Amino acid sequence: MTKPKVLLLGNITHAKKEWEALSSIATLITPTSTDRTDFLAECSSGAFTEVIAAYRTFASVSITGLIDTELVAALPTSLKYLCHNGAGYDQVDVAACTAKGIRVSNVPTAVDDSTADVNLFLIIGAIRRFNRGMVGLRRGEWLKGCKLGHDPQEKVLGILGMGGIGRALKKRTDAMGMKTIYHNRNKLSEELEEGAEYVSFDELLSRSDVISLNLPLNKHTRHIISTAEFNKMKDGVVIINTARGAVMDEDALVKALDSGKVASCGLDVFEDEPNVHPGLVANENVMLVPHMGTFTYETQYKMECWTIENVRMAVEQDTLKSIVPEQASAKF
């Protein structure tokens, strides 16, 4: 009996043995394409006929482009599973996949701790205004131009998006004596809240000393923080973003920083990565990290293994370990 085919979009870096072990249950193939035009042509040629599952990475967007309506239409009808290596999956049009009967999975919790660690680093750095001192030190300017920061104790942390990363962050900031409020589409159970207070979106904006963005990027959350939202915040608020750059309007953020409405911020993600808004680069009250939230060996390995397990379950059990929430109740 012919083995089903599995398509690799991107590279396996750390879990090579685990990936190669899939060859016992499937034929593993890779595209020859180097850009979207070629990939669409390769799809049309029938090269991926009988592929039932695909493993994809963020970097594979350089080959396929976004997994949008056009590309989904070009994928073989045999493809039933798209296994994405990442917690966020804004590169994938889930609605288009659902319409074609393609189940999408992500890696929802493997990234929680490493991202929350970076989040905490940015909170401490931004609230204490460390960046100005660190930059000045390398120029031989000992404390020149530095302003006093603040202690995190007793400050109100507003978490916008209290998923796995947000909850992991809360555990870390509890140790510093911060008070956590949060806003989600839905209130969490008391067990998951662990003492955090559920508030409305506007109340989170108005009460928080530090606002941490930990929500996914989609059509509802794009620029969820912009000029109107900054105007509702406390003067001197601190903003942290480890989610996706486009959940915040960077032009509006630069203006809020320039006016002093936002005292400082810490960013691991940007609207047009790898390009960074020049107004952010120029502002020494801004801590900038080049999307390193999951940039550890342990987390990268866990993410690859998790995605490989999704592929294995797709082939062997016709199911997924972690289907995306939008498809949780979909009929296939």
Token pair listed for 275: 């390009």
Which residues make Cβ contacts (< 8 Å) with residue 268, sequence separation at least 6?
118, 119, 122, 241, 242, 289, 290, 291, 292, 293
Q: Which of 194, 273, 298, 316 is catalytic?
A: 273
**C-alpha–C-alpha distance, residues 297 and 10, integer Å:** 18
Full pLDDT tens readout for the chain, 332 residues: 689 999 999 999 999 999 999 999 999 999 999 999 999 999 999 999 999 999 999 999 999 999 999 999 999 999 999 999 999 999 999 999 999 999 999 999 999 999 999 999 999 999 999 999 999 999 999 999 999 999 999 999 999 999 999 999 999 999 999 999 999 999 999 999 999 999 999 999 999 999 999 999 998 999 999 999 999 999 999 999 999 999 999 999 999 999 999 999 999 999 999 999 999 999 999 999 999 999 999 999 999 999 999 999 999 999 999 999 999 988 88
Which residues make Cβ contacts (< 8 Å) with residue 44, sequence separation at least 6?
74
Asked whether the beta carbons of 79 and 51 are under 8 A apart, the reply is: yes
Residues making up the chain, counted from first to last: 332
Closest CA to 248 of 134, 233, 155, 130: 233
Asked whether the beta carbons of 220 and 193 are under 8 A apart, the reply is: no
Which neighbouring-strand residues pair with 80?
A: none
298 CB neighbour count, 10 Å cutoff: 12
26 CB neighbour count, 10 Å cutoff: 20
pTM above 0.85, yes or no: yes
Is 84 one of the annotated active-site residues of the chain? Answer: no
DSSP state of 268: S
**C-alpha–C-alpha distance, residues 145 and 127, integer Å:** 16
Q: Which of 56, 167, 183, 244 is catalytic?
A: 244
Is 244 one of the annotated active-site residues of the chain? Answer: yes
39: helix, strand or coil:
helix
Alpha helices in the chain (DSSP H): 16-21, 36-44, 61-64, 69-74, 94-99, 112-127, 130-138, 164-174, 190-193, 201-207, 227-231, 250-259, 278-282, 297-317
Q: Which of 128, 223, 291, 326 is catalytic?
A: 291
Options 3.40.630.70, 2.60.40.10, 3.40.50.720, 3.40.1010.10; which CATH number does 5-110+298-327 get?
Answer: 3.40.50.720
Q: For 136, list phi and psi in degrees, rounded to 5.
A: -65, -40
The CATH number assigned to the domain with range 112-288 reads 3.40.50.720
Residue intervals in the chain for CATH 3.40.50.720 = 5-110+298-327, 112-288
Residue-wise pLDDT tens digits, 200-233? 999 999 999 999 999 999 989 999 999 999 999 9
* 260: alpha, beta or left? (left if phi > 0; alpha if psi -120 to 50): left
Is 150 one of the annotated active-site residues of the chain? Answer: no
Asked whether the beta carbons of 217 and 243 are under 8 A apart, the reply is: yes
